[in-house]
Structure 1
Amino acid sequence: MTCNVIGTGSSGNAVILDKHILIDCGVPFKQLQSFVKDLRLVLLTHKHGDHFHEATIRRLVETRPTLRFAMCDWMVPLAVGMIQPSNIDIMHGDKEYHYSGFSVSPFDLVHDVPNCGWRIHFRDPDYKVLYATDTGTMDGVSANNYDYYLVEANHDEAELEIRAQEKLSRGEFSYESRAALNHLSRQKVDRWLMENAGDSSRVVYLHQHKEE
């Protein structure tokens, strides 16, 4: 299986698995253009613009009119104005949906808007992937011995607290205070990985905040 991280972080998120599955669509179309012809499915997570770039969605639909989009019900009102309803697969948490060669399953994540992560299971060869970003916690999520974990590691807890306190002492807005509630720290995700990842699992840390 191949894993191409096209973009991650506040500037835009998009990951392509095995050339055929695009998870999140928050980057300009130009960054995806060379991959579009091979796509079979787009998995959407939530409505924030760095994960759901409307202009890119429209270009994808225009370029690939039969391309399928999978999403939970909260994304449907945003999507129906851009995507034909017949091309939308509405999915429900922790149920598995089968396509030729792979299956996908969404699971709920905790964020400031409705959000989901994705489990993807390739069947030949047998390969399991978990994708989770923009969440305050992974409590209640189980994914034992997956082959790939694409997970958020937004910040270091100690560094984030120092930056937040410095800004608050100057009366400035603190992005860091919000990030601590809505995004996974490296420490939190590493503790979760210790309980789930196997010896041969591979981890890709996503959505890492970079201080301006």
Structure 2
Amino acid sequence: MVKYNIISTGSDGNATILEEFVLIDCGVPYKALEPYVPKLKLVLLTHIHSDHFQKRTIKRLASERPTLRFGCCRWLAPPLIAAGVPERQIDVLEPRTMYGYGLCNVIPFMLVHNVPNCGYKVHFPSGKVIYATDTNNLNGVQALGYDLYLIEANYRDEDIQAKIAEKKAAGQYAYETQVLKNHLSEAKCNDFLARNMQANSVYIPMHVHVDKEKTDGRNGEN
């Protein structure tokens, strides 16, 4: 079974470590990652929102570990350079293409969000992992018989629709309408899992919706 350590998931920050040497998303303070930094070999980044892409942490990682690789799709290469990551440490990855990193293979795939975003399939000798958060759907994505599914299950349709109706009736803005557009429901997640998981597969729900307004000036909707 693939080892995993979810440092944080959700709107307050995202960072997950696989097999002790692959970090997916870097939306937490450096202090949260510091105990794990010496073993890291690869950082995979998904999109620009600050709960997934914390510039100060990324800059310090690159500075502390000059041999660390940063993998991302094309939309994050300029922000990585602007954050202080030397171009020589950046690997620009194309969706649906497999990249070999010695101890693992990486396949990015497109997700549907309000900014360009991707998920990752990561294949280790110990098993296969799929990671996908901040997406409206997983249409066209397949991960048959993977060992570990780190997939967003953000909300229950009936709960969020009731909240929207309640706020509209009170004349309030319902930010939950943006959640519907940009995040994966439990129903869509369960449908994906039913089509892909096998008996020994493990599913971990990610980025579960918390009912609170966003007032902290994040870089766009999460």
Q: Describe how 1:53-202 pairs up with structure 2 within 5 A.
A: 53-81=54-82, 82-123=84-125, 125=126, 127-202=127-202
1:151-193: per-residue Cα shift (whole Å, max 9, x none)?
0001111000011111122222212111011100111100110
Shift of 1:130: 0.1
Kindly tell me the number of residue pairs found equivalent between the two proteins.
210
1:86 Cα deviation from its structure 2 partner = 0.6
* Matched residue type, 2:141: V
SS in 1 for 2:6: strand
Partner of 2:62: helix, strand, or coil? helix
SS of structure 2 residue aligned to 1:37: helix
Letter in 1 for 2:49: H
1: distance between equivalents of 2:72 and 2:13? Answer: 18
For residue 25 of structure 1, give the secondary structure of its aligned residue in structure 2.
Answer: coil
For the pair 1:15 / 2:21, whether they are aligned, the reply is no
Q: Where do 5+ consecutive residues of structure 1 fail to align? A: none
> What's the TM-score once normalised by structure 2's chain length?
0.93
Deviations 1:19-41 (CA, angstroms, capped at 9, x unpaired): 00000000111110100000000
After TM superposition, what 4+ stretches of structure 1 lie above 3 angstroms from structure 2? none
RMSD: 0.8
AA at the equivalent of 1:115: N
Q: Which amino acid aligns with 1:134?
A: D
Q: CA deviation at 1:140?
A: 0.5
Structure 2 unmatched runs, 5+: 213-222
Q: Matches of 1:152 and 1:172 in 2, distance apart?
A: 27
One-letter code of the match for 1:128?
K
- C-alpha separation between the residues in 2 aligned to 1:30 and 1:173? 36
Matched position secondary structure for 1:208: coil
Paired with 1:63 and 1:129, the residues of 2 have a C-alpha distance of 27
In structure 1, distance between residues paired with 2:95 and 2:41: 21
Identity percentage over the alignment? 44
Alpha-carbon distance in structure 2 between the residues aligned to 1:62 and 1:158: 46
- The TM-score normalised by the length of structure 1 is 0.97
Q: Match for 2:153: what amino acid?
A: A
